[in-house]
Amino acid sequence: MSRQSLRGAGFRNLALGYVIYRVIRFIPSLAPPLWWSIPANVVTP
């Protein structure tokens, strides 16, 4: 594998990990009593 493809794979894995983290963090907001917190959870990293 070339260095560039390894770098691309590393970036992809990092981005995928961040998306998974955001989804897991967002799941509790889907409960109706917590809907008011959705805008804050979408914007806050």
Q: What gap in Å lies between CA 19 and CA 30, rounded to an integer?
A: 17
Angle at 20 between CA 5 and CA 34, to 5 degrees: 160
| Mean per-residue pLDDT, 12-37 | 89
Give SS3 for 6.
helix
Q: Give the whole-number percent of the chain exceeding pLDDT 90.
A: 29
In terms of average pLDDT, the best of 4-8, 15-19, 27-31 is 15-19
| Whether residue 18 has pLDDT greater than 90 | yes
Q: Residue for token digits 């806050």?
A: 44
What local confidence, expressed as pLDDT, does residue 15 receive? 96
